[in-house]
Amino acid sequence: MLESKPFEIDGITYHVGHLPARDALRVAMRLAQLGGHTFGSLVGVSANDPETVLALLVRGFADAYQAGDVDAVVLKLLSPAHTLGADGRALKLGEPATFDAYFAGRLGHATKVLAAAARHNFADFFGALTTELAGLIVKAAPQKPAPPATPTP
């Protein structure tokens, strides 16, 4: 079901719909690739060094980023999203020209709208994926052998 839900962000109402399942899965997989690579760069880094953490996050994202990600992730994620323009007509945020004009100079705001769209579309995906992977890891982990039985005298 392609449910649409209104979100208010910085005093502006946006309507965000669900992506079709295959599109959502493609976007989720790309987000997982970007996130995995980005957060993987933090392994072994002290949380007490915020400048290094930030630098590694930015570098990890930049290393994983591909030129088509804006269209494949951002515009696809916003394709079922709209808000009302000053004239009362719907502005389709997933259209490249609308996205460029509407969010020009407001990338922080665009990030909030993208986060709302991601939460709406993937609320159960990453939680379910984590649960399933954790279950597989537990099953695959070597089991401790049972202690040898002590002979009874």
pLDDT tens for residues 116-135?
Answer: 888 888 877 656 555 555 56
Q: In whole angstroms, what is the distance from residue 98 CA to residue 110 CA? A: 12
Span 36-79, pLDDT tens digits: 666 666 666 666 667 776 676 667 767 777 777 778 888 999 99
Mapped onto helix, strand or coil, the DSSP state of residue 139 is helix
Burial 97-121 (b: 16+ CB within 10 A, else e): ebbeebbeeeeeebeebbebbbebb
How many angstroms separate the CA atoms of 99 and 77, rounded? 12
Asked if 75 and 96 count as a contact pair (C-beta separation under 8 A), the reply is yes
- How many Å apart are CA 16 and CA 117, to the nearest integer? 6
